[in-house]
A and B are shown apart, each in its own frame.
Chain A
Amino acid sequence: MSTVTTAPAPAKTSAAPAHPPGHEPVHNYLLEPGPGPDVKGFARVWPTVKAWATTVDHKRIGVMYLFTVSVFFAIAGCAALLVRAELMNPDMDFLTADEYNRMFTLHGVMMVFLFIVPSIPASLGNFALPIMLGAKDVAFPKLNLMSYYIFLAGASLAVYAILSGGIDTGWTFYTPYSDTTNTAVLPMTMAVFVAGFASILTGINFIVTIHKMRAPGLTWNRLPLFIWALYAVSIVQVLATPVIGITMVLLAMERLVGIGIFDPALGGDPVLFQHFFWFYSHPAVYIMILPAFGVISELMGTFSRQRVFGYRAIALSSVAIAMLGFLVWGHHMFVSGQSPLSSIVFSVITFLIGVPSGIKILNWVATMYKGSVWLTAAMLYSLAFIFLFTIGGLTGIMVGALAVDIHLHDTYFVVAHFHYVMMGGTVFAMIGALFYWWPKMFGRMMSETWGRISAGVTFFGFNMTFFTQFILGSQGMPRRYFTYLPEYHDLHQVSTVGSWFLGLGLLMVLFNMIWSLFKGKPAPGNPWGAATLEWTHTTSPPDHHNFHRTPLVTHGPYDYDVLFSGDGYGGDGAGTPAPVPNPEVGGPQEMGKSVDLGLSQPKPKHD
């Protein structure tokens, strides 16, 4: 009966209840449905592949998304390392100027459209959202699977575009150059067009799930902040993504039949392309960063053992950012020749974005104040996030100021700014989230020690790579050039060496993950002592259908005191205590006197 190999020692399913009643990990979603335990060897391969490829289980789809976006992250990351290596010296080392253009475009397009946009929402969001809501799946499970395959189709088109020569326009596809270059612009725009549909479908799915499938008692004011962030993101995805689709179609028509929307000779306007493009792509920036905000809110609460300060302010500021994010796209176009009036308006609204972002930073810091901060690897990554995102955000205000932007536009300063936000923000948050949810996803603990070391190496490498670029940019080094003047040589070399440290840190994370799958300690249901439903009411890894009984929510997502005392509502209608872990497991207070880092099974309370 027990088919579990990766789950925490569940062998005696009936005798000793090593898990809360009704939550015995018999049905590990990683194994079931799939070939039974009697099928051995290669005979397992096809049934396993089939079961995964046709699954409508949100957890499996999340894992598949995670794997896919990780592959693209690795490819695009290698492209970035190549770009940096070429910039080690000003002369042409191993990439020609053309190859360099294609390489940084490959990096940009892949990172943006195939990695960051789907990264946290589609992988971790898909995995965690329904469980955090107390639902058995998303509202439209088949649509969810379809979105994954649409994403794959878009990604295949992108790979085809790369193999058929790549493109050299930069990820923004600006006309008139994208209209005239003879690289593979068409397949790449189609890739973006198709991948956009995956984004829209995921957004719709999340919105409906959040509205309709919350467990009883889970009011809007009790929603975990990760859910709030995903809700805001979904709205942006649904409203903005169609515009990039339209833009890509218009660009394709421009190239194919010359309809003249963007061609001044035919009465068009090339700047109009930038309006179209940024009307999606600026909100897309918030598609990339808002889920990271949600993750950080979760981590700050759990690892500070304290209610998240200003819960409602954080929740609503996510929505405010999502809305304001639609009104600032013109700040990418200050030097494009757009009218001074619109530049002024866009600049003012851009400053406004600083308000909700500042609210979030303040509240996260305030959450740690007088809390019991537990410096796990996940927490270290989220502390790094706060540090890096603050730098990224404040430099955003600088380039949002009209006069300053004239000087800094299209320099390395801008490159450093958005890497601080995208990489130092989203990627750091995603790694933190992986450390946090990994035990839940795969039932294994990652190495904390190596996790902490990797956090240090990544943080150091990141700053070495990109802080130098702030200086380079302020001195006038333009972006997207494969060579440079001799006075920039030293800083470019520092930046390149930093990129190796950064790559090393990320490799450590990767090896940590792979190691944990085979050698990691089995994870208990709630290793971090968190208070949201995915930790309190499911096993690690969860059952195929998440919960045996629909949970009844009686407290907020960060009420750790209620969690540890138990609230008497197990959701079975019989007044059974909620399945809480042993309070001694996972609390930071125990770290000094116990070597048990929360990595052991919760002790049975019933004997």
Chain B
Amino acid sequence: MAENAHTSSGHDDGHHGHHIIPLGVLLKVFGALIFLTILTVVLGLWERDGTIHLGALSVPVALGIAGVKATLVAMFFMALKYDTRVNALAFSLSIVFLVVFFVFTFLDTGFRDTFNEWPDTPIDERELQELRLQERNEALQPAFEAQPLVLPGDTALIRTP
């Protein structure tokens, strides 16, 4: 009898009633939600014990499980699965915009300090410093050039005492 609610015949009287979701489906969804909750907790415990190492994936996995749970709730408990597609679209659009807001704000807060990896001195000043260094090196260059100990025509050294 509950299965009949799936067919459109129940709605042909012109009034848009609630879709009646079979109890079995509701219970299955409930079971899935409980399982996922347990999974989240168990994963958390394992990670603390050191049984598994999710590392950087820790938060994405937790958020993923939470997302699946939220989707199940929206689809079955909120009956969006049986509603007009437009409602599902509107619902998911609002989620999309929330995600957009978070992601773009994260682009800021997550990379805030990267400015400071570059030196504070302006580039023209840095170029000038580099130029000065180069000039100084060039000025010092002769002093460091290798001098032959004995020049061919050095009579003072060759001359015997």
Contacts and interface: CB of A to CB of B under 8 A. Distances in A.
Interface string A167-184: 000000000000000000
Given A339-B115, A340-B115, A271 B108 contact: yes
Among A239, A338, A339, find the residue whose CB has the most chain B CB atoms closer than 10 A: A339
Contacts of A243: 101
B38 interface: no
Contacts of B86: 211
Interface in A328-376: 329-330, 333, 337-342, 345-346
Interface string A546-584: 000000000000000000000000000000000000000
Among B100, B112, B115, find the residue whose CB has the most chain A CB atoms closer than 10 A: B112
A400 to B, nearest CB: 16
Interface in B91-134: 93-94, 97, 100-101, 104-105, 107-115
Contacts of A327: 100, 104
Interface in A164-217: 211
Contacts of B101: 243, 275, 279
Contact of B110 (A211, A333, A339): A339
B114 to A, nearest CB: 6
A341 B104 contact: no
Contacts of B115: 339-340
Contacts of A338: 108, 112
Contacts of A211: 86
A239 B97 contact: yes
Q: How many residues of A sit at the interface, in one of the four size bands?
A: 20 to 34
A386 to B, nearest CB: 32
A338 B104 CA distance: 11
A330 B111 CA distance: 14
A338 B113 CA distance: 9
Main secondary structure on B side of the interface with A: helix
Among B86, B101, B108, B111, find the residue whose CB has the most chain A CB atoms closer than 10 A: B108
B115 to A, nearest CB: 6
Contacts of B97: 239, 326
A448 interface: no
A339 B114 contact: yes
B100 A342 contact: no
A211 B89 CA distance: 14
B137 to A, nearest CB: 33
Contacts of A341: 107-108, 111, 114
A99 interface: no
B104 A330 contact: yes
Contact of A239 (B94, B105, B107, B113): B94
Q: How many residues of B sit at the interface, in one of the four size bands?
A: 10 to 19
B111 A340 contact: yes
B95 to A, nearest CB: 11
A330 B108 CA distance: 9
A339 B104 contact: no
A272 B104 CA distance: 11
Contact of B108 (A239, A275, A326): A275
Nearest to A349: B104
Contacts of B110: 339
A269 B104 contact: no
Nearest to A239: B97
B127 to A, nearest CB: 18
Interface in A234-288: 239, 243, 269, 271-272, 275, 279
A337 B105 CA distance: 13
Contacts of B107: 330, 339, 341-342, 345
A340 B94 contact: no
Nearest to A283: B97
A319 B107 CA distance: 25
Contact of B100 (A271, A326, A339, A340): A326
B119 to A, nearest CB: 15
A346 B104 CA distance: 9
A269 B109 contact: yes
Contact of A339 (B93, B94, B108): B108
B122 to A, nearest CB: 13
A243 to B, nearest CB: 8
A341 B97 CA distance: 20
Among A211, A333, A340, find the residue whose CB has the most chain B CB atoms closer than 10 A: A340
B9 to A, nearest CB: 24
Contacts of A339: 107-115
A275 B100 CA distance: 12
Contacts of B112: 337-339
A342 B94 contact: no
B70 to A, nearest CB: 19
13 contacts: A239-B93, A243-B101, A271-B108, A272-B105, A275-B108, A327-B104, A330-B108, A338-B108, A339-B108, A341-B111, A342-B107, A345-B107, A346-B104
The 5 closest A-B pairs by CB, nearest first: A339-B111, A342-B107, A338-B108, A342-B108, A341-B111
Given A339-B110, A339-B113, 7 more contacts: A275-B101, A330-B104, A330-B107, A337-B112, A340-B111, A342-B111, A345-B107
